[in-house]
Structure 1
Amino acid sequence: MHKYIIRRILQFIPMLILVTIVVFGLAKAAPGDVLSGERLDPNIPAEVYEMRREALGLNDPIHIQYWNWVTTVASGDFGTSMQYSGRPVADLIASRIMNTVYLSLFALGVTLAIAIPIGIYSASRKYSLFDYGATTFAFLGLATPNFFAGLLAIYIFAFILGWFPSQGSVSAPGLSGIELFLDKLRHLVLPGFTLGLASTAMYMRYMRTEMLEVKGSDFIRTAQAKGLSNNSVLYKHTLRNALIPIITLLGLEFGTLLSGAIITERVFNYPGLGQLFLTSITNRDYPVIMAINLILAVTILVGNLLADIFYAIVDPRIRYD
């Protein structure tokens, strides 16, 4: 296992290089830059903007710009923001990333807490009224866009019922201790359930399908013939094997949630990476855009590694050494 982990970490190097090339290339392929567009002051001479563009290195050849960016990133410096008056990109991300992490973890917890039990129960009660209801909910969850689900949740649970706040991450400054924790939790409920809706629906279907497939296997029939209890067969044999494909999805899920939070954070005006990312795109703040994209890519790579490691934990037959 240790050798395999080392090999996978070494494989990150060429993959990260490729990711940096793609991220940088996509950012530079977009038209214009932070010093172009209608929002600039027409009273300022164009020469001033050109001098600023030269100072920022925006007129350098593309390979020089890439080299300058990737070397600063390799040293742990994401550069400075063009939009926020030269503020370090790392500071901007650090001030918001934990909000997005909290939101993604909350959405992931909602997904696992709802999808796996319902998927298991649906498989054990195949073609029952509950199974049909869960299937209908899953299809609706997959078909409903995040922004629509978010607006509907705000209208019902914030405006009509008044149970949860509709925007932000805290109600007021100066909160601390348990009061701050509970306030943040209340602000996470609506965006968290909205972000986790599609994943919950997808995991319910996967869990049900895998449980039904494993239940029809020969080793399950053998376990039942040996007189094992239904709970032992269900949780010790069926569930453990059915979770293997689910772990594959979980390896990618956190990165998917981080990227999916962009729309959700916009709908709920939640101060996370998603809001920063959209604002940076609007203002063509390429250092921030590239840094966030790189963080998302690394998150997905690490998630894949963790999925492979959990394979061996769930299924003892899997060995990497």
Structure 2
Amino acid sequence: MTKFIIRRLLLFIPMLVIVTMVVFFFAWLAPGDALTGEIVDPSLPAEVLEQQRDLLGLNDPFIVQYWNWLSNIVQGDLGQSMSFNGRDVSDLILQRLDNTFYLGVFSLFITLLFAIPIGIYSSRKKYSVLDYSATTFAFLGLATPNFFAALLGIYLFSFTLGWLPTQGSMASPSLTGWDAFVSRLHHLILPGITLGLSSTAVFLRYLRSEMLDLKGSDFIRTARAKGVGSNSVLYKHTLRNALIPIITLLGIEFGTILSGAIIIETVFGYPGIGTLFVSSLANRDYPVIMAINLIAAMTILVGNLLADICYAIADPRIRLD
């Protein structure tokens, strides 16, 4: 296990270099820059804007711009934002990172809370009323776009019933202690459930299908022939092996925790990394865009590493060394 982790960590270095090249190339290839956006005074002469581009290095060759950016990244400098008055990109991200983290963890908790028990029961009581209901919910969750579910939730629970807020992460930034926790949780319920809706549907379908396939396996029949109890067969043998695809999905979901749910945060006006990404796209603020993409790629790599480690824990047949 230790050798495997060390090998994977060493592989991170070339993988991260490739990721940085891809991220920077597409940002460099995109038309325009921050000096052609709406934040620039249109009355400024073109010569002044060109001088600013020269000072910022935007007219340098691609390899020069990439090397300068990569050198700063290695030193922990994500650059300065062009649309937020030159503020450090790291400060902008850290300011919103906790909100996105809370949203991702809450949505993942909702996903696991509903998907795993319902998936287990659906596999045990195949073609029952609950199984048909869970299957219908899964198909609706997969077919419904996140933005539509978000708008529907706002209309029903905010405008019609008035139970939940429509935007923000807290009622007031001056709240502290228990009041701050309750307010943050109150603002997380609607976007968190909406974000976890599609993931719950995917997890439920995968778990139900995998457990039904494993029920006819030789090792399951052997366990039953030895007189192993039904609950032991279900949880110790069937569920443990059925968790392999779920672990894969969790590795991918881990990357979305920090990268942010862009659509959900935008619809709910939630001040996280997703809304920062959207505003940076509108203003062509490429240092912020590249930093967020890089962080998302790194979290996905870490999520896949954790998923590989969990494979060996869930399935002893897998030997990572």
Q: How high is the TM-score relative to the length of structure 2?
A: 0.98
Quick one: structure 1 residues 100 and 118, their matched pair in 2 at CA, closer, same or farther if it must change by over 3 Å? Answer: same
Q: Does 1:156 align with 2:156?
A: yes
Instruction: Give distance in 2, aligned partners of 1:235 and 1:213.
Output: 15
The 5 Å alignment of 1:33-182 reads 33-37=33-37, 40-182=40-182
Task: Tell whether the 8 Å contact from 2:149 to 2:194 is kept in structure 1 after alignment.
Answer: yes
AA aligned to 1:28 is: W
Tell me by how many angstroms 1:231 deviates.
1.1
Q: Does 1:190 align with 2:190?
A: yes
Instruction: Give distance in 2, aligned partners of 1:300 and 1:121.
Output: 31
Task: Tell whether the 8 Å contact from 2:34 to 2:83 is kept in structure 1 after alignment.
Answer: yes
SS of aligned partner of 1:35 = helix
Tell me by how many angstroms 1:258 deviates.
4.5
Task: Tell whether the 8 Å contact from 1:195 to 1:257 is kept in structure 2 after alignment.
Answer: no
Instruction: Give distance in 1, aligned partners of 2:40 and 2:85.
Output: 15
Instruction: Give distance in 2, aligned partners of 1:263 and 1:164.
Output: 19
Tell me by how many angstroms 1:260 deviates.
5.9
Considering only aligned residues, what root-mean-square deviation do their CA atoms show, in Å?
1.1
- Which shows bigger deviation, 142-151 or 222-231? 222-231
- Which shows bigger deviation, 267-276 or 256-265? 256-265
- Which shows bigger deviation, 225-234 or 73-82? 225-234
- Which shows bigger deviation, 209-218 or 88-97? 209-218
Task: Tell whether the 8 Å contact from 2:262 to 2:274 is kept in structure 1 after alignment.
Answer: yes
Tell me by how many angstroms 1:43 deviates.
2.2
Tell me by how many angstroms 1:214 deviates.
1.2
Task: Tell whether the 8 Å contact from 2:108 to 2:196 is kept in structure 1 after alignment.
Answer: yes
Equivalent residue number for residue 290 of structure 1: 290
Instruction: Give distance in 2, aligned partners of 1:260 and 1:71.
Output: 26
Instruction: Give distance in 2, aligned partners of 1:77 and 1:42.
Output: 31
Tell me by how many angstroms 1:168 deviates.
0.3
Equivalent residue number for residue 281 of structure 1: 281
Specify every segment of 5 or more residues in structure 2 that has no aligned partner in the other structure, as ranges: none
SS of aligned partner of 2:60 = coil
Instruction: Give distance in 2, aligned partners of 1:72 and 1:234.
Output: 52
Instruction: Give distance in 2, aligned partners of 1:216 and 1:128.
Output: 19
Tell me by how many angstroms 1:241 deviates.
0.9
The 5 Å alignment of 1:163-312 reads 163-259=163-259, 261-312=261-312
AA aligned to 1:174 is: S
1:155-205, Cα deviation, whole Å (9 max, x unpaired)? 111111111111000001211111101110111111101111111001100
Tell me by how many angstroms 1:221 deviates.
1.4
1:278-313, Cα deviation, whole Å (9 max, x unpaired)? 000000000000000000000000111000101111
SS of aligned partner of 2:284 = coil
SS of aligned partner of 1:157 = helix
SS of aligned partner of 1:158 = helix
Instruction: Give distance in 1, aligned partners of 2:287 and 2:132.
Output: 48
- Which shows bigger deviation, 234-243 or 262-271? 234-243
Task: Tell whether the 8 Å contact from 1:195 to 1:260 is kept in structure 2 after alignment.
Answer: no
Instruction: Give distance in 2, aligned partners of 1:138 and 1:61.
Output: 50
Instruction: Give distance in 2, aligned partners of 1:271 and 1:38.
Output: 22
Tell me by how many angstroms 1:222 deviates.
1.6
Instruction: Give distance in 2, aligned partners of 1:43 and 1:241.
Output: 65
Task: Tell whether the 8 Å contact from 2:39 to 2:283 is kept in structure 1 after alignment.
Answer: no
- Which shows bigger deviation, 240-249 or 273-282? 240-249
